[in-house]
Structure 1
């Protein structure tokens, strides 16, 4: 990927909309192709709201699929191992769709799309889907730092400005509330394993066992121990195939904030003002009323 960087004019993406959901203009321009994507029955889709532990669950799944073989899991970057179906980097580079279509089955794919924008073939083919949700307070902090370091994401503005955009759902991939609730409701009618970032953090063994069961895999205890070790935040942070340092600093500037920043629960307390916290709690109460979905904001 680095070889093409000389041709790239790196600038922050403009934002458009698909059915009211903010997406980059470059994604909107290719939307018809994305919507028409043909899933296969043995595809596995990993779905999350952005910055909710996506790379973490991708690494867990990859290690499970390769029986804990580290070399196989370092065969390529996360982006190439699990194509990001709606992502369009640049006119001159392969899109997530291109990578997905060129990949032999069985494929593991990734999306941040809200449930209503997932290409219909995934439902028609009854694909298995793993969804990871993260509490909104930590999610907004992580998303803010990601916008700062990612030189092609829309300009985040100040923390206060970004907080406002997030609360009102004016960020890429739309409202966190709609996203987590939409997928929560969908799990009753589809083959969806719904996991929580906080649960994986608290008890990785228990949560990875759920993934194993969902994928119909059985691994020996030693292999499971190895997977738990190698998918710890500090270990993954040093893994160049997972930490996104394979992208040039013109795109992801790790000197501003690392792609894998903290991976903790409760970091929001270092950012939220008392007023922001009250505002958020009020909003949260209204928007989460009537759902059985609950989150832990700290461990």
Structure 2
């Protein structure tokens, strides 16, 4: 009898997410060093194991706050590496902090370059990524659209608590009482390291409006140069429509949760004027005049 194919870390994590039943916030979230994380796929043991995780200098690490284009960029790099190597690359670990320490052990067996991602703040990223001078791609998205996308993700993800209304979610979002903490704290911490030559930041909005230029920058940053024809191929394969159509294959029953709209400006459908002003004030307090603040092009994308 033929042996069944062993599931990848990614497939096992998706199975866990899909089988989780909605329950109380106290059961679905846990606090680790002042930040909330989903308890079904994150644990204290995993965070402790990450402290000794061995990065490689040719790893491809993507860092994002939740719902800022993570899965999109993972798929883009998957297509780029597969094209350069002329063979399918296994996407094994969606987030380095997800799962259990045994998953990190299996990750050691993966050939280079390994495509990895994380929602962790800079201080929590395994130190070996910094010591090895691994190249890190940061993707940021305007906070208002990120909040709307995160709200809808909470609603559709069994592993996260359900909010009765957008207004209740917004209150927690603006105060950082959501998974992975404050959007603004996250961006502020990464802004301190954005001038490091091993770190490059791109915005979700720039990728949506000028994909070929941004893809060229990303591929050159990772020293995976593409021809114009290859850029067009990657763009076709990673368009939102294409990824949504394939989402059941890539993300199972949770495909719609991961790929909802992928739009710019959706925040205008839910934000009240007062909520919009609250985010404006946070931006002025934390990000105005910073490099990442400028990259967000806030006036263009976040004003009524």
TM-score by length of 2: 0.82
Change (3 A) 1:243 1:163: farther
Structure 1 residue 49 corresponds to structure 2 residue 50: no
Contact 2:22–2:162 at 8 Å: present in 1 too? no
Does 2:297 align with 1:296?
yes
More helix as a share of residues: 2
Q: Deviations over 1:15-44 (max 9, x none)?
A: 222332222345242221122211122211
Per-residue Cα deviation, 1:207-242 (whole angstroms, up to 9, x for no partner): 001011111122222111111111111111112377
Structure 1 CA distance, aligned partners of 2:20 and 2:257?
22
Gaps of 5+ in 2: 1-10
2:191 paired residue among 184, 187, 210 = 184
1:117 Cα deviation after fit: 0.6
Q: Distance in 2 between matches of 1:24 and 1:102?
A: 26
Alignment of 1:180-219 (within 5 A): 180-189=187-196, 191-219=198-226
- From the superposition, tell whether residues 230 and 25 of structure 1 become closer, same or farther in structure 2 (CA, over 3 Å): closer
CA contact (8 A) 2:207 2:214 kept: yes
The 1:99/1:174 distance shift into structure 2, 3 A limit, reads farther
Secondary structure of residue in 1 paired with 2:68: coil
Structure 1 residue 204: Cα displacement: 0.2
User: Tell me, what secondary structure is at the counterpart of 2:247?
Assistant: coil
Q: Is the 8 A contact 1:51 1:142 kept in 2?
A: yes
CA distance in 1, matches of 2:247, 2:288: 42
**1:189-268 counterparts in 2 under 5 A?**
189=196, 191-240=198-247, 244=251, 246=252, 249=253, 252=254, 258-268=257-267
Equivalent residues, number: 281
The answer on 1:29 being equivalent to 2:30 is no
Contact 2:184–2:282 under 8 Å retained in 1: no
Inter-CA distance 65–160: structure 2 relative to 1 (3 Å threshold): same
2:157 and 2:257 in contact (8 A); partners too: no
1:55–1:242 Cα contact (<8 Å) kept: no
1:86–1:96: 8 Å Cα contact kept in structure 2? no
RMSD: 2.7
